[in-house]
Amino acid sequence: MFSSPLLPLPAGLEIATIETVDDLLVVHVVSTKVKVCCPLCFCLAKRRHSRYTRVVADLPCAGFRVQLRLQMRKFFCDNADCSRSIFTERVPAFIEPWHLCAHDPSSYHGASLGARGHGVASGPR
Protein backbone atom coordinates (compact mmCIF):
# COMPACT_ATOMS: atom_id res chain seq x y z
CA MET A 1 0.00 0.00 0.00
CA PHE A 2 1.13 3.49 -0.73
CA SER A 3 0.12 7.11 -1.06
CA SER A 4 0.59 9.35 -4.05
CA PRO A 5 1.13 13.09 -4.51
CA LEU A 6 -1.21 12.80 -7.53
CA LEU A 7 -4.05 11.57 -5.31
CA PRO A 8 -3.54 12.93 -1.82
CA LEU A 9 -5.59 11.00 0.73
CA PRO A 10 -6.38 11.94 4.31
CA ALA A 11 -4.71 10.11 7.19
CA GLY A 12 -6.19 6.65 7.62
CA LEU A 13 -6.60 5.91 3.90
CA GLU A 14 -4.05 4.35 1.56
CA ILE A 15 -3.95 3.30 -2.07
CA ALA A 16 -3.91 -0.49 -2.41
CA THR A 17 -3.75 -0.74 -6.21
CA ILE A 18 -4.28 1.31 -9.35
CA GLU A 19 -5.47 -0.17 -12.62
CA THR A 20 -6.66 1.08 -15.99
CA VAL A 21 -9.53 -0.39 -17.99
CA ASP A 22 -9.94 1.35 -21.36
CA ASP A 23 -10.52 5.02 -20.46
CA LEU A 24 -11.19 4.29 -16.78
CA LEU A 25 -8.60 4.71 -14.01
CA VAL A 26 -9.60 2.58 -11.02
CA VAL A 27 -7.98 3.40 -7.68
CA HIS A 28 -8.50 0.86 -4.89
CA VAL A 29 -8.36 2.57 -1.49
CA VAL A 30 -8.35 0.88 1.92
CA SER A 31 -8.79 2.21 5.42
CA THR A 32 -5.85 1.85 7.77
CA LYS A 33 -7.50 3.50 10.77
CA VAL A 34 -6.69 1.75 14.03
CA LYS A 35 -9.47 3.39 16.05
CA VAL A 36 -13.02 3.89 14.80
CA CYS A 37 -15.80 5.55 16.80
CA CYS A 38 -19.55 5.32 16.44
CA PRO A 39 -20.77 8.46 14.61
CA LEU A 40 -23.79 8.71 16.91
CA CYS A 41 -22.42 8.19 20.45
CA PHE A 42 -18.66 8.53 19.70
CA CYS A 43 -17.80 5.36 21.64
CA LEU A 44 -14.76 3.45 20.45
CA ALA A 45 -15.70 0.36 18.41
CA LYS A 46 -13.97 -2.86 19.36
CA ARG A 47 -15.68 -5.39 17.07
CA ARG A 48 -15.74 -5.41 13.27
CA HIS A 49 -19.02 -6.48 11.67
CA SER A 50 -18.12 -6.73 7.97
CA ARG A 51 -16.72 -4.78 5.05
CA TYR A 52 -17.92 -3.67 1.66
CA THR A 53 -16.68 -1.81 -1.40
CA ARG A 54 -18.00 1.68 -1.97
CA VAL A 55 -17.60 3.04 -5.50
CA VAL A 56 -17.37 6.80 -6.03
CA ALA A 57 -16.41 8.98 -8.98
CA ASP A 58 -13.84 11.72 -9.11
CA LEU A 59 -13.00 14.36 -11.71
CA PRO A 60 -11.38 13.13 -14.94
CA CYS A 61 -7.58 13.14 -15.08
CA ALA A 62 -5.43 13.13 -18.24
CA GLY A 63 -8.31 11.85 -20.37
CA PHE A 64 -9.25 9.09 -17.93
CA ARG A 65 -12.48 8.83 -16.00
CA VAL A 66 -11.51 8.23 -12.37
CA GLN A 67 -13.27 5.74 -10.12
CA LEU A 68 -12.36 5.25 -6.47
CA ARG A 69 -13.17 1.89 -4.92
CA LEU A 70 -13.10 2.33 -1.16
CA GLN A 71 -12.87 -0.79 1.00
CA MET A 72 -15.01 0.32 3.94
CA ARG A 73 -15.56 -1.48 7.24
CA LYS A 74 -18.67 -1.82 9.36
CA PHE A 75 -18.49 -2.09 13.13
CA PHE A 76 -20.72 -2.96 16.06
CA CYS A 77 -21.50 -0.21 18.56
CA ASP A 78 -21.42 -1.89 21.97
CA ASN A 79 -22.85 1.09 23.82
CA ALA A 80 -26.20 -0.14 25.20
CA ASP A 81 -27.51 3.45 25.30
CA CYS A 82 -26.81 4.04 21.59
CA SER A 83 -29.61 3.52 19.07
CA ARG A 84 -27.15 2.50 16.34
CA SER A 85 -25.99 -1.11 16.68
CA ILE A 86 -23.98 -1.27 13.43
CA PHE A 87 -22.25 1.59 11.64
CA THR A 88 -19.87 2.19 8.76
CA GLU A 89 -16.59 3.97 9.40
CA ARG A 90 -16.58 7.56 8.23
CA VAL A 91 -13.99 9.43 6.17
CA PRO A 92 -15.48 12.95 6.23
CA ALA A 93 -12.24 14.65 5.18
CA PHE A 94 -12.51 12.67 1.94
CA ILE A 95 -16.16 11.87 1.20
CA GLU A 96 -19.39 12.32 3.09
CA PRO A 97 -21.78 9.43 3.69
CA TRP A 98 -24.12 8.78 0.75
CA HIS A 99 -22.20 11.01 -1.67
CA LEU A 100 -21.39 9.48 -5.05
CA CYS A 101 -18.59 11.89 -5.84
CA ALA A 102 -15.29 12.45 -4.03
CA HIS A 103 -15.45 16.22 -4.46
CA ASP A 104 -17.96 18.98 -3.99
CA PRO A 105 -19.32 19.72 -7.48
CA SER A 106 -20.52 23.16 -6.35
CA SER A 107 -16.88 24.22 -5.93
CA TYR A 108 -16.16 23.66 -9.64
CA HIS A 109 -17.32 25.81 -12.55
CA GLY A 110 -18.63 25.11 -16.06
CA ALA A 111 -15.92 23.41 -18.09
CA SER A 112 -14.44 21.70 -15.03
CA LEU A 113 -17.61 19.66 -14.64
CA GLY A 114 -16.99 17.51 -17.68
CA ALA A 115 -18.63 17.30 -21.09
CA ARG A 116 -22.07 16.31 -19.80
CA GLY A 117 -22.09 19.13 -17.23
CA HIS A 118 -23.29 17.16 -14.20
CA GLY A 119 -19.99 16.96 -12.37
CA VAL A 120 -19.38 13.24 -11.91
CA ALA A 121 -17.09 11.12 -14.03
CA SER A 122 -19.22 8.02 -13.83
CA GLY A 123 -19.75 7.43 -17.53
CA PRO A 124 -22.97 7.30 -19.54
CA ARG A 125 -26.29 7.18 -17.76
Could you read off the pLDDT of 17-37 as tens digits, one per residue? 999 989 999 999 998 888 899
Residue 119 · residue 105 · CB < 8 Å: yes
Contact 75, 33 (CB under 8 A): no
At 97 the pLDDT is 59
CA distance 78 to 54: 24
Query: Do residues 58 and 100 touch, judged by C-beta distance below 8 A?
Result: no
Sequence spans of domains, the chain: 13-103
* 0.75 surpassed by pTM: no
* Contact partners, residue 31, CB within 8 Å, separation at least 6: 12, 13, 70, 71, 72, 73, 89, 91
The confidence score (pLDDT) of residue 112 equals 33
Query: Residues 68-116: pLDDT tens digits?
Result: 898 989 999 999 999 999 998 887 666 655 555 554 444 333 333 333 3
So what's the pLDDT on residue 94?
61
The answer on pLDDT for 119 being more than 90 is no
Assess contact for 1 and 14: CB atoms under 8 A: yes
Determine contact, residues 80/40, Cβ cutoff 8 Å.
Answer: no
DSSP classification of residue 100: S
What pLDDT does residue 5 have? 62
